[in-house]
Structure 1
Amino acid sequence: MAATRACLVALVVALTFLFMEGRVTAEPTSAGSLVQRRREMGSLLRRLNKPPIASIQSPDGDVIDCVHISKQPAFDHPLLKNHTIQMRPSYNPRGMHHDSNITTHAITQIWHQNGTCPENTIPIRRTKEEDLLRASSIRRFGKKMPRSIPHLNPTNDTDTPNILRGHQHAVASAQYDKCYGTKSTFNLWKPWIARGNDFSLTQFWITGGSYNGNNLNTIEAGWQVYPNLYSDSNTRLFIYWTRDAYQSTGCYNLLCSGFIQTSNQITIGGSISPMSTYGGTQYDIDILVWKDQAGGNWWLQVGGDYVGYWPSSIFSYLADSASTIMWGGEVFSPDAGQTSTHMGSGHFPNEGFGKASHIKNIQVVDSSNCLNPTSDVGFITEQNNCYNVQSDTYGDWGTYIYYGGPGNNHNCP
């Protein structure tokens, strides 16, 4: 009984601190509700943290669990109970663009300094109790808020503008009858975050469907800095997916069932390094997602590693193809329009290479499984004096964008 009281006191103190910091919403604080929350947390932790074969303590504070490939969270999905793992894609896209005149720099994940996961396992970042305590709700842990993507059909979407929901974007967008993936090279930065529940990310969105009827499907990949999710300001590789416009399906990384990982080298949600510096050395990472037309799965490749795939069965529109792809940056803050959280490098596109953040070699996979440059893009920004984007095509860079900004400044808002 004494131990139970001690746990409750500790939980009350932790929740009070987080509430004062503005990191949780007001929830009942009775002893009964705290016990219920504690039970929900324990149940979720047991579901997320599968029994590992080995564990690696990362220098950045993460614990990386090496979980047998057949025991990963994906197989909690009811549609994947009898799924047979596809270890490699059947075909790679043709026409992959390579920089012939630009020196590449090796990108690593920080946990690699202390070990590797054995064959037939996958590395999973362990979810800790303190991660759940930072969440506004257990039910929404690891999920984006509904309608957080840029407007896909502005003339038909009369909902509240994104900026009023806390999101700002600087993205390039292209629409197609049908497309089957994208590849791009992301410039790596560590943007400054103004407050703990702000985030800044760079990604691409592969989408089908729309908000009408909540049938938007997305596949997303890139890098982000998100202290409230990860407890630090490290730049981390991330993925996301949804099939119902972020209402209930999908989540970040492996925090819900769906994405099937095959690589024992890459931790989704793990820190990556090194980072670019203003006016100094620039570091990039290649990310490719494409639909393997033989099996129908959407494969993720990071650098030279096949990381895993989203089975087509978890989608509706994306079970066939995508219709819109976007590339660029996003900032979330409850103070959107006034936040000083940086996007990209924190500098505007007109500053150019080494100062503004870029995404280059932007290509799209067509119905013949060929990668082609895209040039006919439109731009989406909420306040271009806060964050902006511009595009061009040039030599080894192919189609590229510069994007980003400092947020609040004398011209913003």
Structure 2
Amino acid sequence: MELVVILLSLMFSTAIAHSTQSTVPLRSFKMSENVTYDCIDIYKQPGLKHPLLKTHKIQMKSSVSRLELKMQTGKNETSNKRKIGCPNGTVPILRNTKEYVTNSQMYAEKHFHQLSADSPGTHIAGVRSSSGPFRGVQASFSANSLNVGKDQVSYSHIYIGSGSENQVNYISAGWIINPGLYGDQRVWTFGFWKGKDGKGCYNTACSGFVQVSKKIPIVEPRDLKTGVPGWVRYSIHQDKNTGNWWITELMEDAPNEDIGYWPKELFNLLDNGANMVGVGGVVQASRDGLSPPMGNGNLPNAGRLDSGLFTNIEVLNSNYDQHKMNDYPTENLLDSEKCYGLRIGTVKRFHYTRLGFFFNYGGPGGISCGV
């Protein structure tokens, strides 16, 4: 009997150690060799352990209704169907390894944001507006398999932010290829935030983000075929009632899914909206100066589907009215014309109007893309 008790105790402690969560998961989903999601009690999820959230009450659904996507941007060949379906009352949390948490902290420290000074080796191509306050931004954008080195990063995202003197509040979401962080060259969805304490965090690698959806986690790999894009359709918006900042995945053939939110308590410059919103691609070169590809690796010199693409780029103004981003003054961002490009969309044919405000971007990268 004593031996049985010892064995059970060992099994229980092993389960806790492997989950790296504060509670034993009700169910787990192993997506691949190194990717497992644990279904954690929504009230015991790691995001709520942030010291600023001691009295936070979970919001189950956004009070802002996002418009359904009205057009087909391209054939979505992403091969990972929705395989996660956590039981009611639980949410999927990526099982973190110590290496992943450590790497997340390292990359978060040097994560580039458009309110910062220029970052050596970082290159951008996109559009932003600083004519806030804005309550949100949304876009559809292509995700592509790329050859990105272990010490390189390539991602495309939508973002909001506000800055004051030396303080920055910032939220970003999209897709990313970062072998140094995730341990592979796959495309991953991601969310990143930087708050009032001056620190930032990816996904659920540390506390702060509150996962609400039981089937779509804030971070997940997308297995894409080379040369065939998938699509990410995201909205970041401030809740009317609570002030929390939600990320919603916009669907074409299903109801939109509120993935979760960054609580208002994390920020001190976003109470009344964000001063800046933007969309675009970003790359980080390796230490030897070699810059990775951006978008799908092609310069935007051909058709609209032949390079990286952002479509239906829209913002919410201070009154929560939805507009195309170019209804406001916008700034084009491109710092390395040798390696990357940016081409703002123009309406030449009737069907292009379905793209709303759009642009093509990206390029192959290279060894001499500038500082």
> Match of 2:269, as an amino acid?
Y
C-alpha displacement of 1:175: 1.3
Q: How far apart in 1 are the matches of 2:61 and 2:319?
A: 19
**How many equivalent pairs are there?**
343
Who is 2:269 aligned against? 317
Which runs of structure 2 are paired with 1:6-405 in the superposition (5 Å)? 50-59=23-32, 61-93=34-66, 96=67, 98-100=69-71, 105=76, 109=80, 112-113=82-83, 116-131=85-100, 135=103, 140-141=105-106, 143-145=108-110, 148-150=112-114, 161-162=118-119, 164=120, 166-193=121-148, 195-210=149-164, 212-213=165-166, 215-243=167-195, 248-274=198-224, 278=227, 282-303=229-250, 304-335=256-287, 338-375=289-326, 376-394=329-347, 395-405=353-363
Partner of 1:399, secondary structure, is coil
- Residues 176-214 of structure 1 show CA distances to partners (whole Å, capped at 9, x for unaligned) of 131100110011211220x2121110001201114x32x
C-alpha displacement of 1:287: 0.3
Partner of 1:396, secondary structure, is helix
Q: How far apart in 1 are the matches of 2:74 and 2:345?
A: 21
Partner of 2:301, secondary structure, is helix
C-alpha displacement of 1:377: 2.1
Is contact 1:202-1:344 (8 Å) kept? yes
> Match of 2:110, as an amino acid?
M
Runs (5+) with no aligned partner, structure 2: 1-16, 251-255, 348-352
C-alpha displacement of 1:79: 2.1
Q: Which moved more, 1:358-367 or 1:294-303?
A: 294-303
* Cα distance change, pair 189–103 in 1 and its aligned pair in 2 (3 A): closer
Aligned residues with identical type, % of pairs: 27
Q: How far apart in 2 are the matches of 1:307 and 1:59?
A: 22
Is contact 1:250-1:256 (8 Å) kept? no
* Cα distance change, pair 306–197 in 1 and its aligned pair in 2 (3 A): same
C-alpha displacement of 1:354: 2.5
Is contact 1:172-1:389 (8 Å) kept? no
Q: How far apart in 1 are the matches of 2:233 and 2:175?
A: 11
> Match of 1:265, as an amino acid?
K
> Match of 1:365, as an amino acid?
L
RMSD between superposed Cα atoms in Å = 2.7
- Residues 249-270 of structure 1 show CA distances to partners (whole Å, capped at 9, x for unaligned) of 2211011211111101112221
C-alpha displacement of 1:382: 2.3
Who is 1:25 aligned against? none
Q: How far apart in 1 are the matches of 2:71 and 2:159?
A: 27
Runs (5+) with no aligned partner, structure 1: 1-43
Q: How far apart in 1 are the matches of 2:57 and 2:269?
A: 22
TM-score by length of 1: 0.76
Partner of 1:268, secondary structure, is coil
Q: How far apart in 1 are the matches of 2:43 and 2:273?
A: 28
